[in-house]
Amino acid sequence: MCTNDSLAWVKENGVIYNGVGDPIPNAISKGIDVSEWQGNIDWDKVKKTDVEFAILRCGFAGDYAKYDDKKFVRNVNECKRVDMPYGIYLYSYAQTVEDAKEEAAHTLRLLKGLNPSYPVFYDLEDYSVMSSVSKSTIAQIAKTYVTTIQNAGYNCGVYANLNWFTNYLTDPYFDSVMKWVAQYNVECNYMKPYIMWQGTSSGYVDGIVGRVDIDVTFNSLRKLGWIQENDGWYYYSNDDTKLTSQWIGNYYVGEDGKMLTNQWIGDRYVDANGLWSPDHWINNGGKWWYRHEDGSYTKNDFEDINGQTYYFDHDGYMVTGWFQIKSDWYLFNNSGAMVKDQWSGNYYLEKDGKMAKSKWVGTTYFDKNGIVQPDRWICNGRWWYRYGDGSYPKNKFDVINNNVYYFNSDGYMLTGWQVIQGKWYYFNGSGVMVKNSWVGNYYLQNDGTMAINTWIGNYYVDSNGLWQQDRWIHNGKWWYRHGDGSYTKNDFEVINGQTYYFDQDGYMVTGWKSLNDTYYFFDASGAMVKNRWIGNYYLLGDGTMAKNQWIGSYYVGSDGCWR
């Protein structure tokens, strides 16, 4: 390999050289790709160099002006002014097909009114996409973007580096698109066809401050697919041939290759966009009918068109509004589409489009005329609840407006305490089941049943559901009964802010008490004495007798006595 730095990335006498001065086989033209990072480019100087084209970044991500490349408009206008051929690219962050649609919309907004002579490229290189999106999904993303751009009349391909094309963009779809491959090397080692190679990011071009990417095109760069030219649309095949006098999908190109519009091609009509719809809508004096490919049309019948159901009358015209067909009523919106599975006023159209009659739909009843009969309360001295169809609940619970009620065997609403299937419930004066609440000394749980043999917070209810409060009991001596019947023994207990001690039999102690070599004093009520003198002895804040310390100006000895 011969190194000639003076020829690095130079085009001379029709030959383009790589970074070490070797000719690049089959290279046709040398170009650059630029963005706002190159600042204000002096395009007059660039035009005088060997640069033959420029690929301009239009922006990145979805269709928001804040994501436009800040130099795109200037770069486009300057390229047009100095007659520099250009294409564009958009840097993608898409992780879903919807993102790709947004990015295509972004590109088309900035392309409006422009006619680039080089393709549009979709720049796929962001690591966050590679690390989180599957190969099949990225193929769908790319296909969505490329197809949208092509359908708008622009040639479109994909840009990525060698690693992406080799290891990530492996879906068969990528074999069908133009590729611009980035590999900073003396040659491109990608094994599949590509039209352009970005060989370095360290090129230098007069008119640009700092380094710039250098790109080389090859003999595979050509017009392909639908191309918008000055006087219309044309279609080019893989060998750069302009197709003529034939159908291409639902479009037709004439003898000169131009796509035809607003005319009949045999028995097929192409509209203002050149599109032939095999079946299509026709407006006749404000009435719509649907013409089939063979000229026939539906009369006195339904027809499904593009996922919507329509009805055509005896003259073949689409109906709208309410319409009776045999014994059933249907509703068709202003576009003629049948209304299904939704309300219209006080009427309901079912999944098949028929107006509901004499039946329940969910919790709503419709009478024979399709009118809603609401459920309602009725009082004939006692309250009962009538359903829309005239029936009523008996021997059962029922949830009405988020409240639970119980109705007896005659259908009347119950109130007060009731035993239902062996369990107690309480219904207030309005008949509503009480839940999560005390009624007297009884507690109603979350399901409305009366709690038994359990703690409710700090309260214990017994086998009869009754809460027995903690209380003092005197049988010659005082002891303290807890709500569950238990009582403290050989331990302290704080009751109503006072500390008490109960002996081995559970009786409250008074007077001096030695516990673990520590003395306490309990007054006549049993309350522990704290922060007070009892005779020549002092009880501290925790109730223990002070020893070997000063209490103010008094000193108590090892026996706790002040002398």
CA 120/CA 159 separation, integer angstroms: 10
**Domain 471-539 class?**
mainly beta
Give residues with Cβ within 8 angstroms of 543, minimum separation 6: 499, 520, 521, 528, 529, 530
**Rounded-to-integer distance, Cα 468 and Cα 58, Å:** 80
8 Å CB contact between 406 and 433: yes
pLDDT, average across residues 257-261: 92
Domain spans, the chain: 10-221, 227-270, 280-373, 376-461, 471-539
- Indicate the pTM of the whole model: 0.44
Spatial separation of the C-alpha atoms in residues 561 and 130, rounded to whole Å: 84
Confidence of residue 239 (pLDDT cuts 50, 70, 90): low
Among 465, 372, 376, 394, residue whose Cα is nearest residue 425? 465
Q: What pLDDT digit, counting tens, does each position of 135-179 carry?
A: 999 999 999 999 999 988 888 999 999 999 999 999 989 988 899
C-beta separation of 46 from 87 below 8 A = no
Domain covering 280-373, topology: left handed beta-beta-3-solenoid (2.10.270)
Average pLDDT over residues 401-416: 95
- Which CATH fold would you assign to the domain 227-270? left handed beta-beta-3-solenoid (2.10.270)
DSSP H helices in 152-268: 162-167
pLDDT tens-digit map of 347-383: 999 999 999 998 888 877 788 888 877 788 989 899 9
Residue 238 has pLDDT above 70, yes or no: no
Concatenating the DSSP letter of every residue in 492-551 gives EEEETTEEEEE-TTSPBP-EEEEETTEEEEE-TTSPBP-SEEETTEEE-TTSPBP-SEEE
pLDDT in the model for residue 1: 41
What pLDDT is stored for residue 510 in this prediction? 96
Report the alpha-carbon distance of residue 167 to residue 173 in Å, rounded: 14
Note the pLDDT tens digit of each residue in 286-337: 999 998 876 689 999 999 999 999 999 999 999 999 999 999 999 999 999 9
Can you identify the CATH homologous superfamily of domain 10-221? Glycosidases (3.20.20.80)
CB atoms within 10 A of CB 431: 20
Domain 376-461 maps to which CATH number in 2.10.270.10, 3.40.720.10, 3.30.160.150, 3.40.50.1000? 2.10.270.10
State residue 272's pLDDT score.
81
The mean pLDDT of the chain is 91
Q: Tell me the percentage of the chain whose pLDDT exceeds 90.
A: 69
How does pLDDT run across 471-527, given as a tens digit for each residue? 888 989 998 988 777 889 999 999 999 999 999 999 999 999 999 999 999 999 999
Q: How far is CA 64 from CA 58, 59, 67, 69, 170, in A?
A: 12, 10, 6, 11, 30
Equal CATH topology for 280-373 and 471-539? yes
Distance, in Å, from the CA atom of 329 to the CA atom of 349, rounded to the nearest integer, reads 9
